[in-house]
Structure 1
């Protein structure tokens, strides 16, 4: 479910899902407004959304690894290591 509901930067269309085809409108397609699991853009869109949310909370990315975020709070250092396995 990590890749669901990501915002899309470009227009994507798909055929109507089986079982959801409206009679008389079989040739119409569906325009995606959110990322869909299995969509090639889904991992990139999900990471961009995560990055926007986490950096708005004061975290910064480590230069050598875009999946590691840090934040200094007083004398403490918070480290988040991001790993997503969609297998």
Structure 2
């Protein structure tokens, strides 16, 4: 399980949200917050997490299966190999 996985995704667009309850400042209640990172509950969060994970795991020399983009493998010279499966935030 990857802890707080969805909080590590990079947003590809500007997203604004209402200020969280208890965060508002007197006279600034109508201001909104611009998100710098992905947040739980965003419809984009799973995709942002996947794209970050995918680029990281590929940089380690893993290959993605063309038939399943959540399945990766890495071969070693001594005929050993690793198969890694990703399901949401579980490996």
Give the TM-score normalised by the residue count of structure 1: 0.93
Displaced runs of 4+ in structure 1, greater than 3 A? none
Residue 80 (structure 2) pairs with residue 76 (structure 1): yes
The 1:23/1:5 distance shift into structure 2, 3 A limit, reads farther
Return the alpha-carbon distance in structure 2 between the equivalents of residues 40 and 22 of structure 1: 28
Extract unaligned runs of 5+ from structure 1: none
How do 1:20-35 and structure 2 match up within 5 A?
20-35=23-38
Q: How does 1:1-87 map to 2 (within 5 A)?
A: 1-74=4-77, 75-84=79-88
**SS of equivalent to 1:34:** coil
TM superposition score normalised by structure 2 = 0.89
Higher RCO, 1 vs 2 (CA within 8 Å, ≥6 residues apart): 2
